[in-house]
Structure 1
Amino acid sequence: MEKAALYIRVSTHHQIDKDSLPFQKKELINYSKYVLGVDEYEIFEDAGYSGKNTDRPKFQEMMSRIRAGEFTHVLVWKIDRVSRNLRDFTEMYDEIKKYNVTFISKNEQFDTSTAMGEAMLKIILVFAELERKLTAERVYSIMLSRAEKGLWNGAPVPLGYDFDEELKFAVVNEEEAKIVKFIFDTYEEVKSTGEVKHRLEANGIRTKRNGHWTTKTISDVIRNPFYVGTYRYNYRYSPHGKIRPEEEWVVVEDNHPAIVSKEQYEKLNKIMDSNAHGRGTDRTKENHIHVFKGLISCSKCNKNYIASTDRPRSDGYRPSVYRCYNYVHNKKQYRTCSGGIGEVKLGPFVINYIANLIKSNEFISTYGSKGTEKEVEKILLKGSSFKGVAGIIAQDLKHTYEVLLKNTGDILFDSIEEPKDIEQDMELESLKSEKKKIERALQRLEDLYLFSEDSMSEKNYLVKKQELEKRINSINDKIKKRSQEYSRNLPGHDLSFIKKATQYLLAHNLYNDRAINYNKIVKMIDKKLLQDFMQCVVKKITVDEDKTISSIEFVNGLSHRFIYRK
């Protein structure tokens, strides 16, 4: 059966006339029905998205469903509705051809089933991409021209200023200007961005967007010539990218009201240059990989832990150490947290707990409900790494036990077994009941054909049998789809991460009955692979101030909180 995907895009919500969404929609529907003779269609709309690439929600959904074999035609108003980028379009077109999907552009009127049609399509797209690049160049020229006149070109307004809609430029915000002066005056006094940061935090002063200060944000304020009334444009290739050559900058002196004097600005920047030179900023940093980077959180303040290298051991190996953000970025008198944990303790705990979770799954796969929650908890906490742990919070243990039971047998494969309490879904129950009725009817049909004296003809039997089997297949598809929808709503249902963990541990000969010696294997295995593995399995590790691991949350939502002996 033929079915068309009608793709519609406009760059803004306000485009009118021939490129508007309603017009495109009407034209494509009529073309599908009356020219192609395809009455089955589905519309995919992306309003307000640029054509420079294909990173658009409805376009990606359409492509996903094409891969699933849902459509025979893709119909667009113009080919640049798909993309103005030749490579993106070519990749898309080559892919849909694999699925025997016909591509049609209503406006250009060409047939891609012929070699000439394909060639014309690509020629048109080359000119569409050229038009986009020429437009970008024109816009860039206009922006430079505006900057040379001291006009605002759009950007986040810096601390100390607000955007004035009438003037169409930044004007001084007197309250924020006091913070800017405080930063400049304090740095002139202490000559340290770190000390300025501590004083700002101690006084409860936040950034313009209510964030925490860092030494870089303070440095950016002091380095910004906007505060002396100088408008600088085209300084970097991107907002946080590489600095352009100075001859490409647009600099307009005395363009707007200043907050600090040029004399103070120049003096402080010279101090910064001197400090940077003294620190030897051209030194190359050691490329140290921190296995648990970005995964650890403080149980007291909920901030992330910052990774650094610990002291070298006798064999020269330097493990990672992780400390709370508040500890790292504040001086002693300003600290509210003292949390920290070393890789030497953290690594064995986490990797052995993951291995024990795999063993728990295998245990339940073997014994099913005969295995108890207590036995699962015992397996999870087996090993010297957990000698201080008295148990797992009952709610977390019960949840994990139930999830393991529901998924028994399919954990190490791509599919996940339908949960046993899925019958609570009334729609699914109805589908199963209907399937049983048809299966009984099929059985009676076979009995009638094989054993009845008034047997039907072979032709009638095969026709009816095919009809019933088709209905059963259709219901099976609906049951599968409904099961997946229902199963997705169960927290922690997806244990496919256990498969990844198993594969990794087996691949590195780490999975056996003995405990894993993390501190030994971390010196032998590529740490980047180990880091990637942890990112695939663990979502968050929470650490208490006494350097104990209070909880581990896995990527599927399962969370295990630990109870420690006093």
Structure 2
Amino acid sequence: MAQGRSYAAYIRRSTEDQSDEHQLSDIEDWLDYNDVSVSEVDFYREQASGAKRDREKFNQLIEDIEDGHYTDVVVWEVSRVARHGLAAQRFFTVCEETGTVIHVTNGSVRRIEPEGEGRMVAGIIAEVAAEERRNLIRRTKSGLRRAREDGKWTGPAPTGFTTDDGYLTPNLNPNYDNKETGFLDVVDALERIVSGEWSYNKAAEHTPNITRQTFSNIHQDEERLAWYLERRAEDDRVSEALGEVELQS
């Protein structure tokens, strides 16, 4: 490690199913190229949205920078710091005030000096990332709204249902090997629960691919329970799907 230097690295992945190994690999390559031992670097790794300000590791890193623990911080790209302009600027400001150098391993700006060099470009990159996220949210909401207006189901299908080209339909021929749950299986189990014949646990034992908690949730939700026992729903998309059960009864 360079004489008198102390390093931290921040790594963030947005969701549980994402991998951060590419970030780690790039940062380790940067450290090796700059003769910095990985063993002497404090890594702050977390899963969190870049739009949130209550990220535990990110906030801890900022506190540690404020306390003078680091002279250098390494990140994969500016968007990993934050997809919220104010959060990114807070990070830049703290580093500037404490004389901490920010190193970016991937991006158009690779070094942000405490004196301000590179900060303007980095700030623009952070604002662009924030605007891209806002546009994505707007497009997603618009797409969901159009889908709902077209009668399509926009989330995971309810228990015992599936979707066909976006439209909700009862799963009357479930593939149990694919972890599917049949609509009529749910109906049978709920009828036994309501009559007192089965407990939630027993219903789960006798019904493929459904948990005790799911039965409990449906049984205690009058609106959802009516889907299965009365073939009645206030949601037009569900009501139309339930009509398929009546046609095949």
TM-score for the superposition, normalised by structure 1: 0.31
Relative to structure 1, is the Cα distance of residues 94 and 111 closer, same or farther in structure 2, using a 3 angstrom cutoff? closer
Superposed displacement of residue 71, structure 1: 1.9
Relative to structure 1, is the Cα distance of residues 207 and 105 closer, same or farther in structure 2, using a 3 angstrom cutoff? closer
Partner of 2:134: 133
**1:5 pairs with 8, 18, 27, which one?**
8
Superposed displacement of residue 179, structure 1: 8.5
Superposed displacement of residue 151, structure 1: 2.9
Q: Secondary structure at the match of 2:242?
A: coil
Relative to structure 1, is the Cα distance of residues 100 and 114 closer, same or farther in structure 2, using a 3 angstrom cutoff? closer
**1:210 pairs with 213, 216, 233, which one?**
216
Q: Is the 8 A contact 2:50 2:80 kept in 1?
A: yes
Superposed displacement of residue 27, structure 1: 2.3
Partner of 1:255: 240
* Match status 1:162 vs 2:160: yes
Q: How does 1:72-471 map to 2 (within 5 A)?
A: 72-106=71-105, 107-108=107-108, 109-115=110-116, 117-154=118-155, 157=158, 161-164=159-162, 169=168, 171=170, 172=183, 173-175=186-188, 178=191, 208-210=214-216, 217-218=221-222, 228-229=232-233, 231=235, 252=237, 254-257=239-242
Q: Within 2, Cα distance between the matches of 1:209 and 1:91?
A: 47
* Per-residue Cα deviation, 1:52-89 (whole angstroms, up to 9, x for no partner): 22444443443454345332211111111011001122
Q: How does 1:481-560 map to 2 (within 5 A)?
A: none
Partner of 2:42: 42
Relative to structure 1, is the Cα distance of residues 7 and 163 closer, same or farther in structure 2, using a 3 angstrom cutoff? farther
Q: Is the 8 A contact 1:228 1:257 kept in 2?
A: yes
Superposed displacement of residue 140, structure 1: 1.6
Superposed displacement of residue 131, structure 1: 0.4
Partner of 2:65: 66
Partner of 2:22: 23
Relative to structure 1, is the Cα distance of residues 223 and 139 closer, same or farther in structure 2, using a 3 angstrom cutoff? same
Aligned residue type for 1:140: K
- Which structure has more relative contact order (CA 8 Å, sep 6+)? It is 2
| 5+ residue gaps, structure 1 | 183-199, 232-250, 262-566
* Per-residue Cα deviation, 1:165-210 (whole angstroms, up to 9, x for no partner): 7887463431366489x7xxxxxxxxxxxxxxxxx99x97898453
Relative to structure 1, is the Cα distance of residues 21 and 252 closer, same or farther in structure 2, using a 3 angstrom cutoff? closer
Q: Is the 8 A contact 2:11 2:24 kept in 1?
A: yes
Q: Within 1, Cα distance between the matches of 2:153 and 2:117?
A: 49
Q: Within 2, Cα distance between the matches of 1:41 and 1:207?
A: 44
TM-score for the superposition, normalised by structure 2: 0.63
Q: Within 1, Cα distance between the matches of 2:120 and 2:29?
A: 27
Q: Within 2, Cα distance between the matches of 1:156 and 1:99?
A: 51
Q: Within 1, Cα distance between the matches of 2:121 and 2:25?
A: 26
Relative to structure 1, is the Cα distance of residues 118 and 146 closer, same or farther in structure 2, using a 3 angstrom cutoff? same
Q: Within 2, Cα distance between the matches of 1:207 and 1:147?
A: 28
Relative to structure 1, is the Cα distance of residues 170 and 60 closer, same or farther in structure 2, using a 3 angstrom cutoff? farther
Partner of 1:406: none
Q: Is the 8 A contact 1:5 1:75 kept in 2?
A: yes
What is the aligned residue count? 209
Q: Within 2, Cα distance between the matches of 1:211 and 1:12?
A: 26
Q: Which runs of 4+ in 1 moved over 6 A?
A: 165-168, 203-207, 211-214
Give the greater-gyration-radius structure (CA).
1
Relative to structure 1, is the Cα distance of residues 166 and 45 closer, same or farther in structure 2, using a 3 angstrom cutoff? farther
Aligned residue type for 1:45: R
Relative to structure 1, is the Cα distance of residues 83 and 210 closer, same or farther in structure 2, using a 3 angstrom cutoff? same
How many percent of aligned residue pairs carry the same amino acid? 20
Q: Within 1, Cα distance between the matches of 2:156 and 2:17?
A: 23
Q: Within 2, Cα distance between the matches of 1:164 and 1:213?
A: 20
Q: Within 2, Cα distance between the matches of 1:60 and 1:175?
A: 51
